[in-house]
Amino acid sequence: MRAKAIWGLLMLFGSAAPLFSYSDQTTSERILGENREFIEFMNICVTNFGKDRIDELGDKFLKIYQFHFNGQVCYLQSDYKNAFRNVRLSQEKNVLLSSEVIRKVYLEDAKVLLDKLAPEIIKSKNARARLYLTLGYRDRAVGRNYEVVSDASNPKLYSYKIFRYLEGIKMARRAKRYGLLALYESRDDATKRMIFNNILEEDNKSGNMFYRRFAGKADKEIHEEINNSYEKIVEWESAQPKLRPEKGGGGGGSGEEESESKVDRRVRYRKEKMTAKSIMYAEFDKAESVMREYIKDFNFKLIFSTIKVMAQMRASGTVEGPDYSGYLLHHFDNYSRIFDHQNSPTTGEEGKKTLLEELTPQVRVIGDIPREGAEGKAEDGAKGADGSAKAKGEGDTSAK
């Protein structure tokens, strides 16, 4: 009986080693993926806002990514214990940065934006606009609650604290998005018509065939175009430069214009006509329901055109109010997009360069040897106590 018990213990301990090793591997893989998502999320936040708002941002974010990078290297070396340790160090730094970003940037900006828009939204007496404004203030308060919950949680629960901070940032973004939707809803019919025409004209420039025959025309010309026969419309389109529609846009989906079938073309003509009539008669909800079928990313483009039109009207002295063009940065960030100060305000295209991409060349593998060391120039290194030469990168574990 005793021999059986001893044999059982030996079997248990014999199987423990691979079990624990497997557990370390899966745990390290999971937290590396989770931490990568945290860093990518924060990368957009700090790229758009952090450079001028957070002190020593570059050094802080570099340390966060350097520890994560070290964890990835350790994982590839099957050193799962150190992989886990490095990820924990990365998250410890990220907790501090996330707390600073949500407090100094997102919650503050959400309140400032909503407070600036509130007077004209309330003055418009538009019920939907007032509802959006209410939802914006509600989401800002929810984001603040997430911050409080994270601050009050166990200091060692790094992953949980970061997750709650990021949820708070998402709520602050949604609050600002509601505020900008309220700005659109509070406009009069003439301004909304300008906004819808701007959406359609800009989409035509990007290659969408939808509404191209009505874009930029006066009411009289639109009436004439509505009454045109199918044959005349086809003839007019045949004389126009060939365009490549956006994926998911146009009656024929993606591909060249010639790939659109006759049935799809007839359906598009009919819906273009419906849209033109709806915009003329200020039935914007009807127009929107049709346009969503043909215009990709409609919500983003609706707010983008609203900001552009309002900024143009303010510049011309037609309306008074805050600097509407300053809301473009918030708008891009609300949709997790990088804002390019040169191209994005006019084209609506997302920027490419992020802070993480700028800092990546500074990241080094632990113990990395510089180029001159690899070329046999160790003699240029510092002399050791015994007079022997040391390579410059030997034993260097710091983030350069």
Is residue 172 located within the same domain as residue 43?
A: yes
Q: Which 3 state secondary structure label does DSSP give 383?
A: strand
Which residues constitute the domain of residue 59?
23-185
Residues 154 and 298 occupy one common structural domain: no
Distances 135 to 104, 177, 182, 183, 306 between C-alpha atoms, Å: 22, 10, 10, 13, 19
Could you tell me if 34 and 127 lie in one domain?
Answer: yes
- Residue 383 pLDDT class (50, 70, 90 cuts): very low
State the chain's mean pLDDT as an integer: 85
Domain count, the chain: 2
pLDDT at position 285 is 95
Question: What's the token pair of residue 132?
Answer: 């959006």
Confidence (pLDDT) at 188: 95
- Helix locations, the chain, DSSP H: 2-45, 51-53, 57-76, 80-101, 107-124, 127-152, 158-185, 189-205, 219-226, 230-238, 262-280, 284-294, 298-316, 327-334, 344-347, 355-359, 371-374
pLDDT, tens digit, 9 for 90 and up, residues 11-25:
544 444 444 444 588
Residue finishing a domain among 185, 217, 246: 185
Tell me the pLDDT band of 352, cut-offs 50, 70 and 90. Answer: confident
Q: What is the average pLDDT across 348-359?
A: 91
Q: 70-113, pLDDT tens digit by residue?
A: 999 999 999 999 999 999 999 999 999 999 999 999 999 999 99
> Cβ(153)–Cβ(161) under 8 Å?
yes
CB atoms within 10 A of CB 378: 17
Q: Say if 120 falls within a structural domain.
A: yes
Residue 190 phi, psi (nearest 5):
-65, -40
The DSSP letter of residue 322 is: S
- Pairwise CA distance, residues 25 & 81, whole Å: 9
pLDDT at 367: 62
**Tens digit of pLDDT for each residue in 187-231?**
999 999 999 999 999 999 888 889 999 998 898 999 999 999 999
Per-residue pLDDT at 328:
96
Per-residue pLDDT reduced to its tens digit, 308-322: 999 999 999 888 888
Mean pLDDT over 365-383 rounds to 51
pLDDT digits (tens, 9 = 90+) for 269-292: 999 999 999 999 999 999 999 999
Same-domain check for residues 248 and 175:
no
Beta carbons within 10 angstroms of residue 152's beta carbon: 9
Residues 129 and 243 in one domain: no
Query: Cα(174)–Cα(136) distance, rounded to whole angstroms?
Result: 7
Whether 324 has a pLDDT exceeding 70, the answer reads: yes
Tell whether 52 and 177 lie within a shared domain. yes
Residues 167 and 272 in one domain: no
Of 185, 213, 245, which residue constitutes the final position of a domain? 185
Please report the pLDDT score of residue 238 as a whole number: 86
157 and 242 share one domain: no
Which of 295, 324, 353 is a domain's end point? 324
Looking at the predicted structure, is the pLDDT value of residue 8 above 70?
Answer: no
Question: Quick check: is 367 in a domain?
Answer: no
Q: Do residues 147 and 246 share a domain? A: no
Q: Is residue 400 part of a domain?
A: no
pLDDT band at 384 (very low <50, low <70, confident <90, very high): very low
pLDDT at residue 381, as a whole number: 42
- Return the number of other C-beta atoms located less than 10 Å from residue 344's C-beta: 19
Q: Does residue 69 sit within a domain?
A: yes
Look at residue 7 in the predicted model and tell me its pLDDT. 55
HSE (CB half, 13 Å, CA atoms) of 222?
19
* pLDDT tens by residue, 52-70: 889 999 999 999 999 999 9
Give the gyration radius of the chain's Cα atoms. Answer: 29
As a whole number of angstroms, the distance between CA 197 and CA 215 comes to 7
**Residue 334 belongs to some domain of the structure:** no
pLDDT of residue 252: 37
Same domain, 300 and 271: yes
pLDDT bin (cut points 50, 70, 90) of residue 348 is confident
Using the predicted structure, report yes or no on whether residue 144 has a pLDDT greater than 70: yes
Same domain for 276 and 197: yes
Q: Is residue 3 in a domain?
A: no
Q: Return the pLDDT at 305.
A: 97
Residue 163, pLDDT > 70, answer yes
Same-domain status, 164 and 197: no
pLDDT computed for residue 162 by the predictor: 97
The 10s digit of each residue's pLDDT in 360-370 is 999 988 765 45
Q: Is residue 281 domain-resident? A: yes
Q: Are 329 and 45 in contact (CB under 8 A)?
A: no
**pLDDT at site 207:** 85
In a domain, 387, yes or no: no
Confidence of residue 256 (pLDDT cuts 50, 70, 90): very low
